[in-house]
Structure 1
Amino acid sequence: MLFTNATILTLDPSRRILTNAALHTTNDRITAIDKTPALLAKHPDDEIIDLTDHILMPGLISTHMHTAQTLLRGCADDLELVSWLCERIWVLQGNFTAGDGYVAARLSIAEMLRAGTTCFLESMFADRYGFDGLCRAVEESGIRGCLGKIVMDTGRYAQDDAWAMHPGLVEDREMSLMGTMCMWEKWNGRADDRIRVWFGARTPGGVSSTLYREMTALSRQHNIPITMHCAEVSADRTFFASTTDSSGNSHTPMTYCSSMGLLSPNTVLAHMVHLDDNGITLLSESGTHVAHCPTSNAKLASGTCRVPDLQRAGVNIGLGTDGAPCNNSCDMFQEMKLAGIIHKGVSGDPTVVTAEEVLEMATINGARALGLVDQIGSLEVGKQADFVAVNTRGVQMQPWSNPVSAVVYSATGRDVAWVVVDGKVVVREGELVTMNEEEVVREAKRCREEVVKRAGLEGKVGGRWPVV
């Protein structure tokens, strides 16, 4: 295929922006990027997609996502974290079936593809949701997925027994760690290598030290990456401080993770709000990646990640939407906008975390975090053909001077017109072509009602105003 007449954000090492440009694909690879007349002359007989008034860019990469939770969008708005988890989210998730998990995954993937996300990291998929169904949803839809299956052996959050998990979500070593190994053997590399299986460790307090050490040993032995929530809320910091090192000193989030073997270039830690300076140094020295989730952190009042400090230390930062109950959207364009704004307000410095840096987080940095930087994250000859085209004709996008600013500060997922993953068109002129969107929505509504009913929360998951 030949995509012509676009403004192309390459995100290549020199960060070139090409005007009146074209991109050529053969099978699953990018085979040429040049000015439109030059490529038209070379490939006159190929299928041509005219992208006049479009910005062509690498597919967006979400480094933190809960696919099951999209079924619970809007079920727990404006609650503090204990009520959010213990009274709503865990209760609902503890009543999922494998069928619900498959439907939720399809809904999440449909939304991500429609909004230009071509690759995502599922952070913590429980056994009861049906991991096989998640993998099938990825395989069928054409998206690229790094899929973290949950690892845990303790049914609480941090050290507080009041934050007990719903019994339906509690797993032991055999179900979680050994179950992940079984799924890795079955699914890793499937769907033309679009599926990668990860360890999705629960937050410290939900995993014993023994299990962490066993997981990190398996990670090193088999090169299986790890993702984990960490230092998200103040309770995490309190938990870490309750543990001690070999000298009897209280741990910080990063000294604890280091002692468990969790810090490495093969690990993505999500949120990372409550860090001290030494923790940032440990992240930098170990090559550990951070998934920044500004909307979730703001909505749940968790705090604000120290992104400018992490950047100065050379820590690689990706971007993630987190789950729909603490974001209400899987739209990475909206996530980019907040990431580019919130740190200016917090710091009082309008020059920090620029639009260019945010776009890097959502593309090339995300690819680096997922260990896929040699394949995706930028538009370069030889890389996988994963890219999106943003239609700029709408009044909400016009006029624009800087294409980076346009996609970070003006665009939303609704402006995405074309999405290509692995050389295959999955969204054509704003329409999903690999999934029946009406069926996806219909099934999601049905499953949502059934989950709420099984959880005994009918009439309790709406808003505060009367509905008549």
Structure 2
Amino acid sequence: MLYTHATIITVNTNRDVFTNGAIFVRGNLIADVGRSEELILKYPEEETYNLEGHIVIPGLISTHMHTAQTLLRGAADDLELVSWLCERIWVLQGNFTPEDGYAAARISIAEMLKTGTTCFLESMFANRYGFGGLCKAVEESGIRGCLGKIVMDIGTYAKDPKWAMHPGLVEDREMSLLGAIKMRERWDKKANDRIRIWFGARTPGGVSEGLYKEMASISREKSIPITMHCAEVKADREFFASLSPPQTPMSFCDNVGLLGPSTVLVHMVHLDDTDIAKLAETNTHVAHCPTSNAKLASGICRVPELLNAGVNVGLGTDGAPCNNANDLMQEMKLAAIIHKAKSYDPTLVPAETVLEMATINGAKALGLEDHIGSLEVGKKADFVAVDMRRVHLQPYFSPVSAIVYSATGADVRMVVVDGEIVVEGGKLKTMDEEEVWKEGEKRGHEIAERAGLGEKVKGRWPIIV
């Protein structure tokens, strides 16, 4: 297929932008990128797809996502973190069934595809959600998924008994670590290499040092990447400081073998200068989730300092209960503006940097930069077409600024993953969207009732039926 007459933001080495560009796809690979008139002459026998009026970008890559939590969208709004986790989210998640997990994965993936995300990193899918169902949902939908199976052996947060997990979520070494290895043996590189299996470690304090070290050793031996929440809230830094001897987030992670180019650390809000230097030294990646951090009042990640130090920073939405959307297009805008507000410097984190975070930086974080993240010959045909023929998007002058500051996921009209059109005309082609959201609606409410939270999740004002 020859896709023609689009403005194409390649994010290639030169950061070329074609105002009347074309992409030639052969199989699941990009075979050519250039000016429309040149490629039309070069491939006269090929079927064409006219994308006039659209901006085409590389498929967006979310480096932090909780697929199970989409069934809990809006169930824990405007709560501080202890109540959010212990009284709502963990209780609800502790009442999941494998069928709920599959439905949650499907509605999460449907939303991501429709809003331009073609690859995501699932942070820590629990055993009770049915890991095979998550893999099945990825396989059926056509998306790419790097899927973190939870690794843990302590059922509290930062070893604080008041931050205890719901019993239904607690796993031991055999179920979590060894279970992740079994899932990798079964699913890694399946679905035409669209599935990759990761270790999804719980936050320090939720995993013993011995299990961290064992996981890190297996990670190096078997080339299994690691993702983990870290330094998200002040309580995390206080936990590290309480150890003997006192440590910082990154000194702890370094001591147990977690740092390196195959690790993505998530949130990373409460870092000092030594932490940032250690991240740069070890080539460890960071997933920035500005909406989640702002909504849960966790703070603001030091992204400008991380970037200046040479740390690779990707972008993630986190889960629906602390974002309410899985739309990485919206996340890009906040990522661009939140650091300007904090620093009083409007030049920090410009639109171009944010688009890199959502594409090529994300690909680097996932170890897939040779395959996705930019529109270049030889890479996988993963791209998104945004329809700019709308009143809220015109006029525009910089295509990159228009994507980051003006467009949202609702403006996505076409999504191609692995050479296949999975969204066309804004509609899913690989899933029945109505079936997906109706099943998600039904199961979300059933979970709330099973958890005994049916009334609490309805908000602060009276609901009259």
Residues 393-436 of structure 1: CA distance to partner in whole angstroms, max 9, x if unpaired? 01110000000000000000000011000000000111100000
Percent sequence identity over aligned pairs? 68
Question: What code does the residue aligned with 1:435 have?
Answer: M
In the alignment, what sits opposite 2:379?
Answer: 383
In the alignment, what sits opposite 2:347?
Answer: 351
Partner of 2:393: helix, strand, or coil? coil
Looking at structure 1, the residues matched to 361 and 404 of structure 2 have their Cα atoms a distance apart, in angstroms, of 15
Residues 252-300 of structure 1: CA distance to partner in whole angstroms, max 9, x if unpaired? 1000000010000000000000000000000000000000000000000
Correspondence for 2:328 among 325, 329, 332: 332
Question: What code does the residue aligned with 2:337 have?
Answer: I
Looking at structure 2, the residues matched to 431 and 453 of structure 1 have their Cα atoms a distance apart, in angstroms, of 32
Partner of 2:391: helix, strand, or coil? coil
In the alignment, what sits opposite 2:401?
Answer: 405
Partner of 1:132: helix, strand, or coil? helix
Looking at structure 2, the residues matched to 49 and 467 of structure 1 have their Cα atoms a distance apart, in angstroms, of 49
In the alignment, what sits opposite 2:141?
Answer: 141
Residues 90-148 of structure 1: CA distance to partner in whole angstroms, max 9, x if unpaired? 00000000000000000000000000000000001000000000000000000000000
Question: What code does the residue aligned with 1:295 have?
Answer: T
Post-superposition offset of 1:38: 1.2
In the alignment, what sits opposite 1:418?
Answer: 414
Looking at structure 1, the residues matched to 17 and 35 of structure 2 have their Cα atoms a distance apart, in angstroms, of 11
Looking at structure 2, the residues matched to 62 and 290 of structure 1 have their Cα atoms a distance apart, in angstroms, of 12
Query: Could you list the runs of 5+ residues in structure 1 that have no partner in the other structure?
Result: none
Query: Could you list the runs of 5+ residues in structure 2 that have no partner in the other structure?
Result: none
1:465 paired with 2:461, answer yes
Looking at structure 2, the residues matched to 138 and 274 of structure 1 have their Cα atoms a distance apart, in angstroms, of 33
1:374 paired with 2:367, answer no
In the alignment, what sits opposite 1:308?
Answer: 304
State which drifts further: 46-55 or 103-112: 46-55
Residues 347-405 of structure 1: CA distance to partner in whole angstroms, max 9, x if unpaired? 01000000000000000000000000000000000000000000000111000000000
Partner of 2:24: helix, strand, or coil? strand
Correspondence for 2:289 among 283, 286, 293: 293
Question: What code does the residue aligned with 1:49 have?
Answer: Y
Looking at structure 2, the residues matched to 428 and 24 of structure 1 have their Cα atoms a distance apart, in angstroms, of 18
Post-superposition offset of 1:463: 1.4
1:258 paired with 2:280, answer no
Question: What code does the residue aligned with 2:51 have?
Answer: L
In the alignment, what sits opposite 2:119?
Answer: 119
Post-superposition offset of 1:447: 0.7
Looking at structure 1, the residues matched to 187 and 319 of structure 2 have their Cα atoms a distance apart, in angstroms, of 23
Looking at structure 2, the residues matched to 348 and 96 of structure 1 have their Cα atoms a distance apart, in angstroms, of 44
Output aligned runs, 1:215-230, within 5 Å.
215-230=215-230
Q: TM-score normalised to the size of structure 1?
A: 0.99
Question: What code does the residue aligned with 1:467 have?
Answer: I
Question: What code does the residue aligned with 1:411 have?
Answer: A
In the alignment, what sits opposite 1:208?
Answer: 208
Post-superposition offset of 1:242: 1.5
Question: What code does the residue aligned with 2:120 have?
Answer: F
Output aligned runs, 1:317-328, within 5 Å.
317-328=313-324
In the alignment, what sits opposite 2:175?
Answer: 175
Post-superposition offset of 1:45: 2.8
Residues 319-371 of structure 1: CA distance to partner in whole angstroms, max 9, x if unpaired? 00000000000000100000000000000100000000000000000000000
Partner of 2:177: helix, strand, or coil? helix
Correspondence for 1:361 among 357, 381, 389: 357
Post-superposition offset of 1:467: 1.3
Which runs of at least 4 in structure 1 moved beyond 4 Å after TM superposition? Answer: none
Post-superposition offset of 1:41: 1.5
Post-superposition offset of 1:37: 1.1
In the alignment, what sits opposite 2:19?
Answer: 19
Partner of 2:4: helix, strand, or coil? strand
Looking at structure 2, the residues matched to 101 and 44 of structure 1 have their Cα atoms a distance apart, in angstroms, of 47
State which drifts further: 37-46 or 17-26: 37-46
In the alignment, what sits opposite 2:34?
Answer: 34
Looking at structure 2, the residues matched to 85 and 46 of structure 1 have their Cα atoms a distance apart, in angstroms, of 53
State which drifts further: 76-85 or 36-45: 36-45
1:128 paired with 2:134, answer no
Partner of 1:461: helix, strand, or coil? helix
Residues 213-259 of structure 1: CA distance to partner in whole angstroms, max 9, x if unpaired? 00000000000000000000001001111213xxxx31010000000
Aligned residues: 464
Looking at structure 1, the residues matched to 83 and 49 of structure 2 have their Cα atoms a distance apart, in angstroms, of 50
Output aligned runs, 1:183-198, within 5 Å.
183-198=183-198
Looking at structure 2, the residues matched to 194 and 243 of structure 1 have their Cα atoms a distance apart, in angstroms, of 40
Looking at structure 2, the residues matched to 443 and 54 of structure 1 have their Cα atoms a distance apart, in angstroms, of 33
Question: What code does the residue aligned with 1:273 have?
Answer: V
Q: TM-score normalised to the size of structure 2?
A: 0.99
Partner of 1:290: helix, strand, or coil? strand
Looking at structure 1, the residues matched to 329 and 341 of structure 2 have their Cα atoms a distance apart, in angstroms, of 19
Question: What code does the residue aligned with 2:86 have?
Answer: C
In the alignment, what sits opposite 1:279?
Answer: 275
Looking at structure 1, the residues matched to 417 and 324 of structure 2 have their Cα atoms a distance apart, in angstroms, of 25
1:62 paired with 2:62, answer yes
Post-superposition offset of 1:42: 2.2
Residues 306-325 of structure 1: CA distance to partner in whole angstroms, max 9, x if unpaired? 00100110000000000000
In the alignment, what sits opposite 1:446?
Answer: 442
Output aligned runs, 1:38-117, within 5 Å.
38-117=38-117
Partner of 2:392: helix, strand, or coil? coil
Question: What code does the residue aligned with 2:171 have?
Answer: E
Looking at structure 1, the residues matched to 38 and 207 of structure 2 have their Cα atoms a distance apart, in angstroms, of 57
Looking at structure 1, the residues matched to 454 and 190 of structure 2 have their Cα atoms a distance apart, in angstroms, of 39
Looking at structure 2, the residues matched to 44 and 321 of structure 1 have their Cα atoms a distance apart, in angstroms, of 42
Question: What code does the residue aligned with 1:70 have?
Answer: T
Looking at structure 1, the residues matched to 43 and 437 of structure 2 have their Cα atoms a distance apart, in angstroms, of 40
In the alignment, what sits opposite 1:160?
Answer: 160
Correspondence for 2:430 among 431, 434, 437: 434
